[in-house]
């Protein structure tokens, strides 16, 4: 049985809403931390001599390193009961569905992320829709985010889907 639509005009008005810009400093320490935390120990990410001899001529960051600064540090008093900030880097429209999940991601990579880069991210909500899940209605929030580097090159474009349930 189909659920009634939870998508009010107010929620739909979030389509087109932009976020950012924010910047990410790609430091050697953060890159090594990310490589360790994802159990991805490719020497290109932390062995300078190895990386210098590679075709890149220097250290790279793992492709998904840009996900590292997912959440801005906010005081605990400003976190919701589930631990997420009320106002994150990627604002989500207020809905009756309290639980947030990562629904998936499509990424196109244009140029590698290099250690020493400064990335700038800008995002925009491109779609919001509702589907019926096994446990009730789900709201999908689709966001397109573009990252550029300090040379003005597009590094990657990500289309990410957040699921509210």
Partner 1 sequence: MAEEQLYFEDVEVGMALPPLHKTPSNTLLFLYSAVTWNPQRIHYDKDYSLREGYRDVIVHGPLRGAFLSQLMTRWIGDGGTLKKLSYTNRDIAYVNEPLICKGTVTRKWIADGTGYVECEIWVENAHGVRLTPGSAVVVLPRKEAQ
Q: Is the dihedral of CA 147, 150, 153, 155 positive or negative?
A: negative
Q: Are 116 and 26 in contact (CB under 8 A)?
A: yes
Please tell me whether residue 43 binds partner 1 under the rule CB under 8 A.
Answer: yes
Please tell me whether residue 19 binds partner 1 under the rule CB under 8 A.
Answer: no
Task: Tell me the C-alpha distance between 143 and 15, whole Å.
Answer: 9
Task: Tell me the C-alpha distance between 36 and 45, whole Å.
Answer: 10
Please tell me whether residue 16 binds partner 1 under the rule CB under 8 A.
Answer: no
Q: Rule CB under 8 A: which of 93-152 touch partner 1?
A: 99-109, 112, 135
Question: Least CB distance from residue 37 to partner 1, whole Å?
Answer: 4
Question: Least CB distance from residue 138 to partner 1, whole Å?
Answer: 12
Among 23, 42, 118, 150, binds partner 1 (CB under 8 A): 42
Q: Hey, which residues does 154 pair with through a beta bridge?
A: 148
Task: Tell me the C-alpha distance between 162 and 143, whole Å.
Answer: 8
| Binding-site ranges for partner 1 (CB under 8 A) | 30, 33-34, 36-40, 42-44, 54-56, 62-64, 67-73, 76, 79, 82-85, 99-109, 112, 135, 161
């Amino acid at each position: 049985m189909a659920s009634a639509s939870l998508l009010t005009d107010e929620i739909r008005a979030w389509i087109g809403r932009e976020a950012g810009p924010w910047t990410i400093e790609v430091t050697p320490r953060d890159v090594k931390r990310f490589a360790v935390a994802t159990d991805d120990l490719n020497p290109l990410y932390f062995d300078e001599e190895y990386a210098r001899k590679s075709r890149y001529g220097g250290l790279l960051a793992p492709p998904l390193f840009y996900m590292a600064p997912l959440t801005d540090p906010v005081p605990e008093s400003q976190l919701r009961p589930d631990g997420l900030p009320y106002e994150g880097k990627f604002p989500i429209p207020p809905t009756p569905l309290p639980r947030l999940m990562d629904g998936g991601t499509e990424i196109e990579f244009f140029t590698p992320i290099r250690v020493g880069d400064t990335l700038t991210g800008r995002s925009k909500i491109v779609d919001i829709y509702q589907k019926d899940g096994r446990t009730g209605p789900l709201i999908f929030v689709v966001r397109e985010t573009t990252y550029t580097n300090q040379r003005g090159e597009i590094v990657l474009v990500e289309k990410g889907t957040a699921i509210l349930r």
